[in-house]
Structure 1
Amino acid sequence: MEEKDVQSKEQFKEEVGEDAEQEIITDNEADESQEQETNNDELTKLQEEKDDLQNHLLRVQAEYDNFRKRTKKEKEADLKYKSQSVVTELLPVLDNFERALQVEVEDKAAKGIVEGLEMVYRQLKTVLESEGVTEIETDGQTFDPNMHQAVMQVEEDGYESNQIVETMQKGYQLKDRVIRPAMVKVNQ
């Protein structure tokens, strides 16, 4: 078959001439060059599409990771503060126990009742402490608007400016979150 091709080329050269053969070769090269440019354009376009899809995939993966981390943090916070609503409801009960225990009694029967109240009060306080509830410190402290609620300002000697003079109502926090700020009198 190669002999036929060689013979065909030689016959063609004789018939058409050298110039025509050169034109055909040039046209073939131009066609090949144009086809190669088209292929390069398609390859470039496909490469850009692949890069866009890869970038999109990376963004979706990052968004999913962020969602997963955020959900995990929210669950941890929910578990950490799960007892907040119950504790909030029990704080007035704790206050009432404290008020009841401040009453002075002389009767022997009444003293037995007060002792029983003290036992229940201590038990309630122990349960709250086991859940992470702590009393907010106020005595001699500097006023902190994040922890204290100023209900009065007074001018008293012996206290520095912005120092708590008296606690009107105890404040409590659950772990590191303030449930109820302490109501206090503050020196000017």
Structure 2
Amino acid sequence: MTNEQETNFQDENPENFDQTSAQGSTEELSLEDKLQQDLATANDKYARLFAEFDNYKKRTSKEKIDLIQSASKDLLNKLLPVLDDFDRALAATQTTDDVSSLREGIELVNHKFRKTLMQEGLKEMENIIGQPFDAEFQEAITAIPAPTEDLKNKVIDVVEKGYFLNDKVVRFAKVVIGQ
């Protein structure tokens, strides 16, 4: 019976209980530690990815601004010769009395200016007088009684020309329509 009591005593011994419990909790702590490490790793990856995405947004925004500015620079460089021609034409008005040669020079500058704009994709809305009014391309600034019945709801006069830039309206034509 003493052996039995000793065995029972050993089973109930708190030291033995703490050792077994410590072994189980060590396994649990290591699992808990592992999960915490995984969480820390995931949080670190998330923070790095977020920072990388934020840097990407800033970089693309800066590149977009640079592209817009450089596009303006290129256009302005193409328009500078036309500006020089206008300056020469204005200087010629001071020294010449020949109106026909002055007019011819201004027409050449006008042609050069329009050609440069066309090369950049600007296109004038043409032949809209007598055409039906189209609100997608035109802005009616006034309506007057139609001189003839067939000009009702049609463009009678163009006050300001409209323009396309690469087939997209950049300025609506300001027109007078008949009613």
TM-score, L = length of structure 1? 0.59
Selected match of 1:58 from 28, 31, 49:
49
2:135 partner SS: coil
**2:151: which partner in 1?**
159
CA positional deviation for 1:69: 3.1
- Alignment partners' CA distance in 1, 2:48 and 2:152: 61
Mapped partners of 1:165, 1:111: distance in 2: 32
Q: State the partner residue of 1:133.
A: 122
Query: What is the CA distance between 1:185 and its match in structure 2?
Result: 1.0
User: Equivalents in 2 of 1:141, 1:124: separation in Å?
Assistant: 30
1:6 corresponding residue in structure 2: none
Question: 2:163 aligned with 1:172, yes or no?
Answer: yes
For 2:107, the aligned partner's letter is: E
Once the two structures are TM-superposed, the CA of residue 18 in structure 1 deviates from its matched residue by 3.8
The sequence identity of aligned pairs, in percent, is 17
Structure 2 runs not aligned, ≥5 long: 87-97
**Per-residue displacement from partner, 1:124-151 (whole Å, max 9, x unpaired)?**
3223323333223461264335x43322
Structure 1 unaligned runs (5+)? 1-13, 95-108
Deviation per residue, 1:103-161 (Å, 9 max, x gap): xxxxxx6444433332232223223323333223461264335x433221134222363
- Higher-Rg member (1/2): 1
Q: 1:48 aligns to what?
A: 39
How well do the aligned residues superpose, as a CA RMSD in angstroms? Answer: 3.5
Cα deviation, 1:62-87, whole Å, max 9, x if unaligned, reads 23333333333343334445548x97
Partner of 2:89: none
**For the Cα contact (< 8 Å) 2:152–2:178, is it kept in 1?**
yes
Q: How many residues align?
A: 151
| 1:33 matched residue in structure 2 | 24
Distance 1:25 1:78 in 2: 79
Residue 115 (structure 1) aligned to one of 78, 94, 104: 104
- Check conservation: 1:143, 1:186, Cα contact below 8 A: no
